[in-house]
Structure 1
Amino acid sequence: MTYRAPDDYVSTYTRDVDLDPATTCLVIVDLMYATGHRDHGLGKLLDEQGRLDDAAYRFERIDDLVVPNTLRLLAWAREHDMRRIFLTYGSEVEDYSDLSPQMEALCRATRNREGCREHQLLDCLEVQPTERVINKITPSAFTSSPIELILHTYGVQDLIFTGVSTNMCVEGTLRDAADKGFGCLLVDDACGADSQEYHDNALLTLQRLYCSVSSTDDVLGRLDAQVGHAARSA
């Protein structure tokens, strides 16, 4: 069931998105080995520290919901030639000196830099040659990458967000996207965080003007309806 924020005087003005496949892009955020797989990066680090249970919720949600539902959306986007962008986060230099101080220590501890396995996207995503992978060195892609230029070049107006973490890189990128004029939709059951509380709190604030929130089933149904409408109008 899709999370619903309490109705208030602000959320009633939240902009909905058209989800026209011709002007929509699927944005998959940080589904990487660094923080998205229990056997690598963060998961390996916590396991070595005897604290893997601290991230049990995170990795279970990624395995059970985030990855499967992202793959469903990705399959639809590929079949219908809808734009898709993969975001990564991590250092682009060997000494991690390009990262902000508050993020450097975590990236260093999880070996999250270009050239390391941890920095790679999950194999199950099977990134295609025509799909764009964009690295960022800040939580928001709009702060430290050419994503805005690329989206405008693609003619994109609306963005569908999946990935991790809901309250960090997903939220940071989404907020900036909305401020730049893009329509934003967050897929509740295709995003995840370290706890349900973190996830829900992010949705609670984002649904107040910044984005709409839907389930994977709802999004796929709306996309199918758009394709059907376009076919009937042709």
Structure 2
Amino acid sequence: MRTLIVEPDAEAKSLGQTLERNGHEVRIVTSGAQARPLFQWADLVLLELELPDIDGFMICREVATESDVAVIITSQRADEMDKVLGLQAGSDDYLVKPFGVRELLARIEAVMRRVRRDKEPDAAGPIVHGALRIDPVGHEVYVNRRRVHVTRKEFNLLHLLASDPGRVLSRERIMLEVWNDDWAASRTIDTHVSMLRRKLGASHWIVTVRGVGFRLGSACPSALLAPEQQPGATLLEGAAGEEEKLSAGTT
């Protein structure tokens, strides 16, 4: 396993040696700028939030957006809000320092097991729901033949909803299925739902069922038009409106 450690502290060398003894090929960098060229090389990124040049959450978002690399945040920040922000930024796990080697190795194993499972082809084939097409083999999403670029977590969330389009899925089940966690991080789900609505071009694709969870919906009629026929910013405004409601805590 190729592991990139993004850590400005001297402890990174000792951590790297420990991982090498456990079969990892390790590279260590001390800044976000040094880390960026190595995202495509790595299978796993161990990311410290306190970097000298770039906010660690920003680096995490870049990794999640640009690649399928797994990310575990390792930080001394133990507040729940920091954990929530880390998951929202796209991390697969959040480990508070100091931590033991056995715990780290166990968390790495759990994260990589989920990543491998996510990448396995689905024998059931693509899911087609109106103008929405979800390809689990290529991890690709299309709306009206338009490719929609989503992160791995966004894909997993959408695929979960589309796998049983008539059912309302609870927040607890979504956290367990997508994040393999059941602690209350409603902001994490809300943020991913908001981003998916915006990327899909219509808020109607994901329906909020108050007090319960979410279900797959369908696009409004204008979303079915070809991109050149769509009425300007109308759909984006609708998605932005949903996001404002989420920010205000009304969904």
Q: Which has the larger radius of gyration?
A: 2
Shared fold, TM over 0.5? no
After TM superposition, the score normalised by the length of structure 1 is 0.34
After TM superposition, the score normalised by the length of structure 2 is 0.33
